[in-house]
Homo-oligomer: A and B are copies of this chain.
Amino acid sequence: MKVKEIMDKEYIYVSPDQDVVEVSLIMEKKKKFTTPVVDSQKKLVGWITSLDVTMGLREGKKKVSYIMHSRDDIVHVHENDPARLAVLATSNHKVVSIPVLNDDDVVVGVVRTFDIVETLSHLYEIKVYKIFEAMAEELKGVSWDELMEASAIVTRRRTGKRIKPEEYEKNIRESTFGEAIWATGGLEKFFVGLIAIGELVIARKVARARK
């Protein structure tokens, strides 16, 4: 995934000569805490946040250029950068949004943390049984019931907890991938559990074939 796929293209922008009072009205109306400052070619020249604006209003600074952060201090990403660079930039610098530039230094979008949260959280919200369905389809000749049975057995072996196949199925229907990796103690452990289940159903399939 690239930065341009997660960026907001409906961003606002202002010019260095613009009046601070006017800019405060725009930012309030559009509910934006930040905005890029651009020149007549829409090239990035600065960046302001609503906290720069409160300072400007309080101290009577008239123009955006008096309150903006200069070009060199602005954390930014390129539209073709991998999206993960925008993710790392916002969390490392603890910012709520960063401007996206193209090859000509022109602002083409803004990446916002709540959009990142939305994108990242999709993965966590996937229902666990979707993974089991894909697994059942892959393991040809193994039925869904056999898979649930093997899952209940592996759970007992690993946690000591007795669980019926029907209960196991209910659990995975209700829980998300995020909850599952949290409950099992991490991605690697979750996956190892799946492999153990896979191993068991394959072993049973092989044993059945030999009879």
Contact = CB atoms under 8 A, between A and B. Distances in A.
Given A33-B51, A54-B50, A55-B28, A121 B91 contact: yes
A15 to B, nearest CB: 18
A27 interface: yes
A189 B124 contact: no
A199 interface: yes
A94 B53 CA distance: 21
Given A87-B124, A120-B117, A192 B134 contact: yes
A121 B124 CA distance: 11
Interface string A1-35: 10000000000000000000100110110010100
Contacts of A133: 188
A32 to B, nearest CB: 8
Contacts of A51: 27-28, 31, 33, 50
B188 A130 contact: yes
Classify the secondary structure of A's interface with B: helix
Interface residues of A, number: 64
A191 B135 contact: yes
Interface in A79-105: 82, 84, 87-88, 90-91, 94-96
Interface string A95-130: 110000000000000000111111011011110001
Considering the complex of A and B, which 3 residue pairs feature the smallest CB-CB distances, nearest first? Answer: A113-B113, A50-B50, A91-B118
27 contacts: A24-B54, A25-B58, A27-B54, A28-B54, A31-B51, A53-B54, A54-B54, A84-B124, A84-B125, A84-B179, A88-B121, A91-B117, A96-B96, A96-B113, A113-B113, A113-B114, A117-B117, A117-B120, A123-B181, A126-B188, A130-B188, A134-B191, A138-B196, A139-B199, A195-B198, A198-B198, A198-B199
